[in-house]
A and B are shown apart, each in its own frame.
Chain A
Amino acid sequence: MVEEVKLMKGNEAIAHAAIRYGADGYFGYPITPQSEIMETLMEEAPWETTGMVVLQAESEVAAINMVYGGAACGKRVMTSSSSPGISLKQEGISYMAGAELPALIVNVMRGGPGLGTIQPSQADYFQTVKGGGHGDYRLITLAPASVQEMADHVALGFDLAFKYNNPAMILADGVIGQMMEKVILPDFRPRKTEAEIRAEQPWATLGKPKGRKPNIITSLELDSHIMERNNLRFQEKYRKIEANEVLYEELLCADADYLIVAFGSAARICQKTVELARAEGIKVGLFRPITLWPFPSVALKKYAEKIKGILTVELNAGQMVEDIKLSVECKVPVHFFGRLGGIVPTPDEALKALKAML
């Protein structure tokens, strides 16, 4: 079969991929630069084809709690927003982590803090991988660097969320959401039937058959001894995710004297920087974390003894750079270059920063 190549925005790819994945529901609230996700879903009207529910909520807070309700039924449900809206969703994300509910959340980041700007940014790295909401929890975080990955990470995010009963986030930014590229969309998969969900998610609240104990979805436990055990169980799960689900990409790293470490749109820009640097005889490679949590610390650490320096390039004031320093245990100098407030750096700017550290 010939693969069907389409040209579309990253945001549109998310919407199409969700329908094709067999998602049961999307609940959202408009915010730039990701509104095309819900617009595309409404245009496609999947409730008439796959039966997928699409609903515009009254707020980001309502939308994430709709996701909680749907996820608690064992359904494949998702929401999307951009930075200020994602801040509002943190309550719901924390509750889902506490109730061990799987769901997919998309953040197409814009510059902050506050209302900030509608231009692209990667300044929500800390919020996403270090917590965001209250309590000791972790959010599986995927960082797409192309429209193709926007489409692919929908299935990956849902699969990981359901494998570990934990929310997962696609952490994109305005560049990846708005740029158009060719994309091969995944094949259509049927939505799960209620019988399948009852079998695969025996905890789902779909109505209690006679003879089964009630299913109760809650993050509440007033007995601190039990609550500590719950937390230890979460931590055990997080260690398992860290051991098994790390994803990253290496470009010309094998013979490199220097590494650029960047994710998402910054990594796309730095692909060109690597090309320019190599043309000038600088042996530099690009290391691109695809999962930001779990962070590819082990893979990165292996380079610490072999290379002369690392340049981290981010669309923020330096957030991932902390995880890189921890990963290489300060055995190699780690430099940072970033632009803030919605400014997207050029490959030349990154090259200049690279040369400055040689």
Chain B
Amino acid sequence: MTISASGLSHSSHLNAKVPAGRLQEKWDAYKNSVSLVSPANKRSHHILVVGSGLAGASAAATLAGLGYNVTCFCIQDSARRAHSIAAQGGINAAKNYPNDGDTVWRLFYDTIKGGDYRSREANVYRLAQVSNNIIDQAVAQGVPFAREYGGVLSNRSFGGAQVSRTFYARGQTGQQLLLGAYQALSHQIAAGRVTMLPRREMIDLVVDNGRTQGLITRNLITGELERYAGDAVLLCTGGYGNAYYLSTNAKNSNVTAAWRCYKRGAFFANPCYTQIHPTCIPVSGEYQSKLTLMSESLRNDGRVWVPKDPKDTRAPEIIPEDGRDYYLERRYPSFGNLVPRDVASRAAKKECDAGRGVGDTRLAVYLDFADSIRRLGEQTIRERYGNLFEMYERITGDNPYKTPMRIYPAVHYTMGGLWVDYELQSTVPGLFVLGEANFSDHGANRLGASALMQGLADGYFVIPYTLGAYLAGTRQSDQVPATNGAFAAVEDEAGTRIDRILNNDGDKSPIQFHRELGRLLWDHVGMARDRTGLESSIHAIENLREEFWERVRVPGTADRYNKNLEFAGRVADFIELGSLMARDALRREESCGGHFREEYQTPEGEAARNDEAFADVAAWEHTDGDPALHLEQLSFENVHLSKRSYK
């Protein structure tokens, strides 16, 4: 199979609208010249925010605080439960409080380099610039970050960074930042400026007159389809890691809202960039419903190893030093256990593929704290990681103070997402995409503690400016009300789709299909990919899609709480996305970040990037036939594209 080159273009669709001028001055220049919406007019603009995670809650609260009329939707029963809450390790900022040499430039550079030079310079620089404001904002909200005895904020170093720029709240940083944003949102709800609608799932986007008009949701309690018209839609619906079925994402995390937008004209960028997190609790059986991450901050004090001899199945505590291979320290002497996530994940896979994996399934490596406990004492380790150790023990029944943890990589984050320009606007006017749902800042690999930073940067500090630019250029007369035929047509389509799922006389559950899709993607579009596997997976996914619509079985009715019905709709979209992920991986004939093609590696087995041919963003457009590829060429005016080396 070859990817059709038809439709390949460098069209005006992909004008990233990066402001002119020096990198350091672009964001200020933008803010100086952007149109402002007058306070009186803000009230008349109705903004629909989908999702209440870090990006959604921070955007909704901030826009409402500015005076916009906001409606915010979430699929959980409360805005406080969005999956941002599960982030453990921390949030980066270029505060340089420890005085260890950090600067905005260094945070920018580390993020660009960590992303393997596949992100847009101007976006990443802006992210680093506003990072400091996020910490200020969170502290003002009462986020209880860790502190030193003198009362100042504490910082730690985090996967891949050589400075201590990570702020944290025990192992619950995501929870605390989300609760800060949720409380700010609650403040605006109380003030009557935000209408919060929980247990709503966005199931389609309404586009008419060449712009976003609103959306259709399903009320997850009554099953009703509901129409919402607005001036703009902010999609803050997170990533698509659950395409793999098993991932560290929450059970409800899904791609449906983003995928529906794709089918309405928003381009999907770099879907093949998925992050496999190196430190997760290994799979224990077929019934496994999700994977649990152990924060990679653990790698600060834990040492990763496997027995040198694959036949050595002794208990880890009694394997002597010379029987152990601390393979990360051996292969990457300068970064050791702190190499970036993609490097650590592939290294674990390599050991397990070579038969040196540990535990019952042999799909795990050890993460050992014995040395740190000897050096720092158990109390210090307990203070740093107590809740993580407890969690590990609850899940596995093993005590990591006594015996090494067993860990294995798992899908954790997706760098790809809907394509957005500098203003976070998609290719559909009036549809903005924030946080993990967009593709913009992490390139081919995200650094630890940068997801929280990006979600909040987009919501608190970027969209308040860029949304105004859009609104100032729109005309009220182009807007259509929810009673309009455009809404009715989309609602009808959604209803038909739901009826089709429910009335199918099938025999397989949505979860069975999801597991099969997950296995295909993990095997062929996972940590290592090759042409043969990708081509076969595209065919297999197409077969799975056909089988889904013939055999899926969902009990119950549409007019009630019906979890299987929700899942079925999401699985159908994941299957279509899976195919696009494989296509994108096939087209990218290089290895970069989270995308590793077996055919493109150095003699030492490291990723081989091809900057001449692939320093680009692949943005896919939905068509009735094969998806059409558009390219945004990435130009690097400020950083030198070096080979990523952590040796």
| Co-assembled chains A and B | no
Residues in chain A within 8 A of chain B (CB atoms): none
